Amino acid sequence: MAGPSWQAVREAHERIRARIHRTPVMTSEQMDQMSGARLFFKCENLQKTGSFKIRGATNAVFSMSEQEAARGVATVSSGNHAAALSLAARWRGVPAWVVMPSNTPQVKRQAVQAYGGQIRFCEPTMKGREEALRALLEETGAALVHPYDDDRVIAGQATAAKEFFEDGPELDYLLAPVSGGGLLSGTGIAAKSLNAGVRVIGCEPKNADDAYRSLQMGEIQPSINSNTIADGLRAQLAPRTFAILQERVDRIVLVSEDEIVQAMRWLWERMKLVVEPSGAVSAAVAVFRKLQWEGKSVGVILSGGNVEMKN
C-alpha cells in the first residue's frame, strides 16, 4: 500500500489534536433536497488558519527531531499551506521560510507574516519557484515541508476524515477536493481503513482536470489549462499521491465554474458558511447531483474558508 499507514494517521491525530480545532459536522435540509441525499458537511473552513492545511503542517513540524526542527522549516506556497506551516513552526518555536510568487495577493502575504513566516519572493513561474526554494534550503539548512508530497503531511490531512467517521453517521460516500492530492490521499486512507465499503470521490474543476485525466490514463497528466476560480486546486499530482489515489479513490468527478460559484452562494445563504472556491468544489458535486446517490449518506469535506473580501 502506498502512503502512510493507518497507524501513522492515528499517531498523527494524537500528535496534533490538542492544537487544532475538531471542526463541526453540519447539515441542511435545503441542501439535502437539492442533492437528493443526506449531506453531512465537515467544516474545515472553520479550522485554524482557515483550512485543513494546519493538520498536515502541524504533524510534519511536530514529527521532527529537536535537531531537525532547530534549523527551521521551509516550503513554496502562495496559499493555505504557507500560513499553516508558519503557524505550526511558531508553535514549535522554530523559524519558517516561505517562497511565494511575486504576484501573490497582499492578503495571503499578510496571513503568512501574521503567523511569523518569513517570505522570499520569486518569479511567478515553476522554474522561478524551484530555483528560489533550492537557494533558500541551501542558505538556511531548513527542512522542506512540501504541501502534499510528504507522508507526514498526508497523515495529518487524513485526520479530518478520521474525525468525520468518529463524529458523523455511517457514510456511503465521502467527497473531498483534489489538487496535489494530499487531502484526497489522506481521506482515502482514513476512509477505507475505517469502512472499506465507502465510496471515496475526488472533486475537481473542469478547468483544472489533471487528476481526473491522470486516473483515466493511468499515469500523471500535466496541468495544462488551470484557469479556474478554485485557485487552490491548480497543483499537479506527485507520484506519491497519484499512487494512493489509484488504490484508495473510486473516481473523480468534475464541476463547472458556474457550479462552484453557485455552491459557494448556497453554502452562505442556506448554512451561513463562508467557503472558498476550492472548498466549495466538493459541495458543488453534491448539490448538482453528479452521482446517483438518492437517499444515501454523503460526507462533504469543505476544505477551507479563506475568501478575499473586496469592496
Give the catalytic positions in this structure: 53, 78
3-state SS of the chain? CCCCCHHHHHHHHHHHCCCCCCCCEECCHHHHHHHCCEEEEEEHHHCHHHECHHHHHHHHHHHCCHHHHHCCEEEECCCHHHHHHHHHHHHHCCCEEEEEECCCCHHHHHHHHHCCCEEEEECCCHHHHHHHHHHHHHHHCCEECCCCCCHHHHHHHHHHHHHHHHHCCCCCEEEEECCCCHHHHHHHHHHHHHCCCCEEEEEEEHHHCHHHHHHHHCCCCCCCCCCCCCHHHCCCCCHHHHHHHHHHCCEEEEECHHHHHHHHHHHHHHHCCCCCHHHHHHHHHHHCCCCCCCCCEEEEEECECCCCCCC
d(CA 122, CA 103): 9
Cell numbers standing for residue 253: 468527478
Cell numbers standing for residue 171: 457514510
